[in-house]
Structure 1
Amino acid sequence: MQQPVFAANYADRIGFAQLTRQAFEGVDLQPLRDQLLGRITEGTAQAGEGLDLSLIVQLLGDKEAGLAIQSEVLTFHQLFRTPSAAPKPGLRLLALAADIDMGGNTPIDFLLEGSDIELLTLYVVKGVGLPESLPAHDVAIVVASDSEECRDALALIEEVAPRWPRPLLNHPGLIGNLDRDKLYRLLADVPGLDIPATVHATRAQLTDLASGRIACGAIAGELHFPMIARPRGSHAGVGLAKLDDAAALEAYLTARKEQDFFVARFVDYVSPDGLYRKYRLAMVDGKAYACHMAIADRWDIWYLNAYMAFSEEKRAEEAIFMRDFDHAFAARHKSALDEMSRRVGLDYFIVDCAENQNGELLVFEADNTAVVHNMDSPAVFPYKPLQMRKIFTAFTAMLSRHARAGEGRAT
């Protein structure tokens, strides 16, 4: 596999970050959608415009239609460019993506915000695979997730990874470590880290458990009520529930149609003041960075349902968390964070976590595709832009370091 010396046959696109920011800020994307649809009807649309249209349709709430548009575009074109902010790019990054919904690949263009890095995204599509000659680039990164839909793409990339002509970050063979059940086995014995065993359970097993025909231990040794359940493959809290007893499990199964689930013991991580605190960290080049802190009176916290924007007191606490992170939270959990980063082995990933009542780092999940952004209003969150820029700077510095290390390879 050799890199060509000629210009890549890429298609320009607006990209994930710009379109998502517009949606986040309340911009009506329907006129742009209609304009792009018109160009497709006329037969004048470029491939990049088709990919932008697929994202707009997803942002407007029609995931199925958006994915159909994307898959159609990717049958005839797989390489796309998101231009850098600089007139002349200082570094060329090649992102290897899968044909999946908008949350299934690392939203890497957010991390490149304001940089001089040109982003090329190559979609690795089943039946098409990788091109014989790669587009010229300084460093590459795998952005496909650990989901089932990405397995074929990851396998194709892993097959050629040993012969990759430039540094390749987030090795495809390591991304599977982020699966909920694999992550537990990887981190179970890390000192100072608490990660509940997340195990696969079939509907039949849970039905037997609900009826008393089997005990929790028949599914997993440490499993007991109360437990957490979620459909296998679900994200963003879809189908997530705390089940206090067999009756609650029976009611849960009645309300769900899925056949496969993940279950885990429930850890009550409530703070002494009766509130729950959940943290998102970015692990960049082996170092932890604070992304956000959500505070709520419920255990199932996401940043949005914590309503941080409506509480000056919560935001003040989050500001202190970010300001003091390196010598407070990160220092308390340095050993656990370092060992977790070493075992996971990825150059960049995200961790959602808390502190349990013994003061240990309680890990809920890790992935490589969570959105890390600088879209929040600086008027409401004046402390966030500086923190986000720290993360972005660390990420781009990591890319530059690897690019320099790979300068002696084939070009």
Structure 2
Amino acid sequence: MRGATAAADRIGFARLTKMAFDGVSLLPLWQQLIDKVTNGTASAGEGLDLSLIAQLLGQKATGLAVQDEVLALHQLFRSPCSAEQPRLRVLALAAAIDMGGNTPIEFLLENSDIELTTLYVVPGAAIPDPLPEHDVAIVVASDSEECRHALAEIATRAPSWPRPLLNPPDRVANLDRDKLYRLLNGIDGLDIPATIAVSRAQLLEVVLLSQTLPEAADGTDFPVIIRPRGSHAGVGLAKLDGPTELANYLIERREQDFFVSRFVDYSSEDGQFRKYRIAIADGKAYACHMAIADQWNIWYLNAGMSESEEKRQEEATFMHTFDFGFALRHRSALAAMTERVGLDYFMVDCAQTKSGDLLIFEADNTAVVHNMDSPQLFPYKPPQMHKIFDAFAAMLQRRAQQHADRAA
């Protein structure tokens, strides 16, 4: 039933992703759910799980098509909760986007006594009135083109929301790459290169020498980092040193819109690049991970952390000393950034420049913070992840309690 407010139970994002991460074959479960769809016995929750399994198996288009069919009929879903009587009820407000487009909040609340219900805000289905019962709500949709409708719909209801509404939509809408640098520009001790939107036509003029790159990209000159607009996880990301490399890049890519920003060599004295993920929860910074590699285009999965005990020891030291090391060294820049972003919870991918400034690559509300890594290989990670999870849960509880106290 369209707009139904009864939550459909599902296996959930965290459990299915952990299965895939651990190398468990999802094909038997996929076939089981397909059989239910075929004979008409699949629930809405199982349909949404099927959509995620398809994406985890690399079938993104199929997964999104299934998701669209499910969300056309049902929008409210309940994730597994460890307590029969939860101490807190959280309502997550999500958009119909691929599996990386909403805050992966299940990881933050997994195995807790907090109940998580997710409401997908989709075209053609109004936000329920009255709303599903909850103690605190949080916007998990991202600042992306696919989420524009959801953010706009939530924004219309935000002023009259009956409970605390965290990560308000107007603040989430400041996080896309071409807006973030304007938001953070001018903070002492913080470097964030301007991210300029350029079209394929403009870049072709640079290739043909009809105009220079600074003329096309608001003063940004080679060497630059380029990526297709809207891309994530390094898709289409490249460093270009001149028009010839730009020409070759455009031959390989078919997108029409791109982001360019100046390249910053953030390598350390040993020639290695170090990239950090920081979580900000209720104004406080927490270490999530540290990736070390001999290349600039680094993210955790390509840094070889599992293969290097030396790298893991350095990451462990980074985590153990974070509060009186990295966080203390960059406390002013982190505090100013947190104030300007204005979100209750978000993540930052960053590094340190050669001059010691905090170099910001990205800040968003959808980067993954998880506890899936092997505790045998990464024994220092579970305590750190649970520190973040506990801080997130405490923030939710505190906001709900503050609201209750004001209403009393």
TM-score band (shorter)?
over 0.9
- AA of the residue aligned to 1:213: S
Residue 303, structure 1, aligned to residue 281, structure 2: no
**Partner of 1:68 in structure 2?**
65
**Partner of 1:138 in structure 2?**
135
1:391-406 map, 5 Å: 391-406=388-403
Instruction: State how many pairs are aligned.
Output: 405
CA contact (8 A) 1:166 1:410 kept: no
Displacement after TM superposition at 1:406 (Å): 1.4
**Partner of 2:224 in structure 1?**
227
Q: Secondary structure at the match of 2:214?
A: helix
- AA of the residue aligned to 2:224: M
**Partner of 1:77 in structure 2?**
74
Q: 2: distance between equivalents of 1:404 and 1:260? A: 45
Q: Deviations over 1:217-256 (max 9, x none)?
A: 2134441111110011111111000001111111111111
Aligned with 2:44 (options 47, 50, 67): 47
- AA of the residue aligned to 1:390: K
Residue 407, structure 1, aligned to residue 404, structure 2: yes
Q: Deviations over 1:194-235 (max 9, x none)?
A: 000001011111111222221232134441111110011111
Displacement after TM superposition at 1:42 (Å): 1.0
1:44-193 map, 5 Å: 44-193=41-190
- AA of the residue aligned to 1:161: A
**Partner of 1:320 in structure 2?**
317
**Partner of 1:4 in structure 2?**
none
Q: 1: distance between equivalents of 2:261 and 2:170? A: 25
Residue 203, structure 1, aligned to residue 210, structure 2: no
Displacement after TM superposition at 1:176 (Å): 1.4
Change (3 A) 1:241 1:79: same
Residue 35, structure 1, aligned to residue 53, structure 2: no
Aligned with 1:236 (options 230, 233, 238): 233
Instruction: Between the two structures, name the one with larger relative contact order (CA 8 Å, sep ≥ 6).
Output: 1
Q: 1: distance between equivalents of 2:284 and 2:219? A: 31
**Partner of 2:348 in structure 1?**
351
**Partner of 1:371 in structure 2?**
368
Q: 2: distance between equivalents of 1:246 and 1:316? A: 41
What is the RMSD of the two structures over their aligned residues, measured on CA atoms? Answer: 1.3
**Partner of 1:286 in structure 2?**
283
In structure 1, stretches of 5+ residues that fail to align are 1-6
**Partner of 1:3 in structure 2?**
none
* TM-score normalised by structure 1 residue count: 0.97
Displacement after TM superposition at 1:371 (Å): 1.0
Residue 362, structure 1, aligned to residue 359, structure 2: yes
Q: Secondary structure at the match of 2:255?
A: coil
Q: 1: distance between equivalents of 2:101 and 2:157? A: 22
CA contact (8 A) 1:165 1:409 kept: no
**Partner of 1:339 in structure 2?**
336
CA contact (8 A) 1:230 1:262 kept: yes
Q: Secondary structure at the match of 2:173?
A: helix
**Partner of 2:261 in structure 1?**
264
CA contact (8 A) 1:197 1:222 kept: no
Change (3 A) 1:164 1:272: same
Q: 2: distance between equivalents of 1:238 and 1:353? A: 18
In structure 2, stretches of 5+ residues that fail to align are none
Q: 2: distance between equivalents of 1:195 and 1:171? A: 24
Change (3 A) 1:52 1:410: farther
Aligned with 2:387 (options 385, 390, 402): 390
CA contact (8 A) 1:165 1:410 kept: no
Q: 2: distance between equivalents of 1:140 and 1:172? A: 12
Q: 1: distance between equivalents of 2:219 and 2:270? A: 28
Q: Deviations over 1:256-315 (max 9, x none)?
A: 111110000000001000100000011111111110000000000010110100000000
Q: 2: distance between equivalents of 1:234 and 1:283? A: 23
- AA of the residue aligned to 1:188: N
- AA of the residue aligned to 2:41: T
* TM-score normalised by structure 2 residue count: 0.97
**Partner of 1:22 in structure 2?**
19
Q: 2: distance between equivalents of 1:146 and 1:188? A: 19
Residue 11, structure 1, aligned to residue 8, structure 2: yes
Q: Deviations over 1:129-150 (max 9, x none)?
A: 2012101100000000111000
Q: Secondary structure at the match of 1:407?
A: helix
Q: 2: distance between equivalents of 1:408 and 1:390? A: 26
Percent identity of the aligned residues? Answer: 66
**Partner of 1:255 in structure 2?**
252
CA contact (8 A) 2:12 2:80 kept: no
Q: 2: distance between equivalents of 1:14 and 1:258? A: 35
Q: Deviations over 1:318-377 (max 9, x none)?
A: 000000000000001000001101001111111000000110000001111111100000
Q: 2: distance between equivalents of 1:37 and 1:409? A: 49
